[in-house]
Amino acid sequence: MHKLLTSILLLFLLLGSGPTFAKSNEYRFTIKPGDSLSKYFSQLGLSDRLLANLLSANSQNKQLNQLKIGEKITIRLQKNRRFKSLSYYPNDKKNLEIFLVGNRFSNAPTHSKINAKPFSTINVVISNSFGYDAQKAGLGLSVVDAVVEALSWRLDFDTDLHKGDRFSIVTDGSAKPIGIIYEGHNKQIEAFLHTNKQGKTRYYNRYGYTLNSSFLRAPLKYKRISSKFQLKRYHPILKTYRPHRAVDYAADYGTPVVSTADGVVQLKGWKGALGKTVIIKHGVSYTTVYAHLSKYARSLRKGGSVKKGQVIGYVGSTGRSTGAHLHYELRFKGERQDPLSYKLPKQKKVAHSELWRFREQVNRVLASL
């Protein structure tokens, strides 16, 4: 199919009405009598539906229905021949830039300024572990740590990686990678660095949202809080005062318990006095503990990913317990925090006023791969 398409394009070129080739997957057209954008899309194997979506995505795009002789258009395709971007150079108007980001078309302002630093890409293919293979590929420890921190909300580097999984690390000479693309057996993750007007630097997905999720304040529908976070509490079974660095939620036996944020299951099993317990890791810094469960959710497995609000188990009274309730812990870097008062992280998004600049950067990173 690819050879046939190439032959057709060369035929058009020989006949004088096809594109000129600036570089691989980039096609330049000069408008001639009878030409249309539909004709160019057809030559490149792009669908009429894609063209219709592009023209209706923004009022500016409708000018592409009235092309004039001598004007120029450049169309860029991905390596898999999917549409990437279009540049239109009219004779009497400002240039028009259109990008396909995910399933949406976006228009980049012609006056915007982007970081012109050249990009370089280092590919890491997993054969042993990410740390080992990344350093073997030439990445320093600080970059390795930055990648792990950026992706850890979506990827468990201990259990998710398989031989052959691929990381593309895009750098521009800065301390942190400007783009990180992970392609695994079961998932693909993208992270793009952005510094806002306040100088705060974070990683976002291509749609402008941080990879971490927000937390729910409580992991279940409960009747009351039977015991709060406190450094000195009288234990009803041990008959002595001990710290209670958790919150106990009294609830009916069998009440569903949910994960308070996206994460990866570290433990599903019996844990001494806590009975049937689930421990979930959220990024590199946060961990939550759910104990005294009666049973686990069927789909739950150690090393598996869970979403915020996903049922992970059911209220019980296993372990050292006097009645049906959930023992819930929140840990930050291993230290137990009060779930009722601790300021939890929230998912952020790129400010609307900075979105064009961010999308330009995303497209530059993807185009460099």
Q: How far apart are CA 332 and CA 261, in angstroms?
A: 14
Q: Is residue 113 part of a domain?
A: no
Give the structural domain span for 161.
120-212+351-368
Q: Is residue 306 part of a domain?
A: yes
The CATH number of whichever domain residue 301 belongs to comes to: 2.70.70.10
Computed from CA positions of residues 242, 244, 249, 251, in that sequence, does the dihedral angle turn out positive or negative? negative
Cβ–Cβ under 8 Å, residues 292 and 326? yes
Q: How far apart are CA 115 and CA 175, in angstroms?
A: 15
Are 96 and 165 in a shared domain? no
Boundary (domain end) residue, out of 108, 137, 171: 108
Cβ–Cβ under 8 Å, residues 124 and 134? yes
At 63, the amino acid letter reads: Q
Q: Tokens 């990879």 correspond to what residue?
A: 211
Q: Is residue 346 part of a domain?
A: no
Q: Is residue 345 part of a domain?
A: no
Number of domains in the chain: 3
Q: Is residue 265 part of a domain?
A: yes
Which H/E stretch holds residue 57?
none
Q: How far apart are CA 360 and CA 244, in angstroms?
A: 50
Q: Among candidates 237, 249, 219, which has minimal Cα distance to 319?
A: 237
Q: Tokens 């792009």 correspond to what residue?
A: 46
Boundary (domain end) residue, out of 108, 140, 167: 108
Please tell me what DSSP assigns to residue 220: S
Q: Among candidates 291, 287, 296, which has minimal Cα distance to 331?
A: 287
Computed from CA positions of residues 62, 67, 71, 73, in that sequence, does the dihedral angle turn out positive or negative? positive
The CATH number of whichever domain residue 48 belongs to comes to: 3.10.450.350
At 340, the amino acid letter reads: L
Are 234 and 331 in a shared domain? yes
Whole-model pTM: value is 0.61
Are 315 and 359 in a shared domain? no
Q: What is the DSSP string of 124-189?
A: EE-SS-HHHHHHHTT--HHHHHHHHHHHTTT--TTTT--TT-EEEEEESSSSS-SEEEEE-SS-EE
Computed from CA positions of residues 327, 331, 334, 335, in that sequence, does the dihedral angle turn out positive or negative? negative
Are 61 and 129 in a shared domain? no
Q: Is residue 114 part of a domain?
A: no
Q: How far apart are CA 155 and CA 41, in angstroms?
A: 38
Q: What is the DSSP string of 228-295?
A: --EEEEEETTTTEEEEE-SEEEE--TT-EEE-SSSEEEEEEEE-GGG-EEEEEEETTTEEEEEEEEEE
Are 292 and 357 in a shared domain? no
Are 183 and 332 in a shared domain? no
Q: How far apart are CA 238 and CA 258, in angstroms?
A: 29
Alpha carbons within 13 angstroms on the beta-carbon side of residue 241 total 4
Copy the structure tokens of residue 124. Answer: 């890491």
Q: Is residue 27 part of a domain?
A: yes
Are 186 and 233 in a shared domain? no
pLDDT tens for 99-140 read 887 788 887 654 444 445 678 999 999 999 999 999 999 999
Cβ–Cβ under 8 Å, residues 17 and 24? no
Are 287 and 239 in a shared domain? yes
Are 8 and 71 in a shared domain? yes
pLDDT tens, residue order, the chain (369 aa): 555 555 544 444 434 456 665 556 889 999 999 999 999 999 999 999 999 999 998 888 999 998 999 999 999 998 888 898 898 988 877 788 898 877 888 876 544 444 456 789 999 999 999 999 999 999 999 999 999 999 988 888 888 899 999 999 999 888 899 999 999 987 899 999 999 888 899 999 999 999 998 999 899 999 999 888 886 665 566 556 568 889 999 999 999 999 999 998 999 999 999 999 999 999 889 999 999 999 999 999 998 889 999 999 999 999 989 899 999 999 999 999 999 999 988 899 999 888 888 888 888 888 888
Are 229 and 328 in a shared domain? yes
Boundary (domain end) residue, out of 108, 141, 161: 108
Are 29 and 91 in a shared domain? yes
Return the bridge partners of 264, or none: 281, 305
Are 194 and 254 in a shared domain? no
Distance between the two ends of the chain, CA-based, in angstroms? 24
Q: Is residue 46 part of a domain?
A: yes
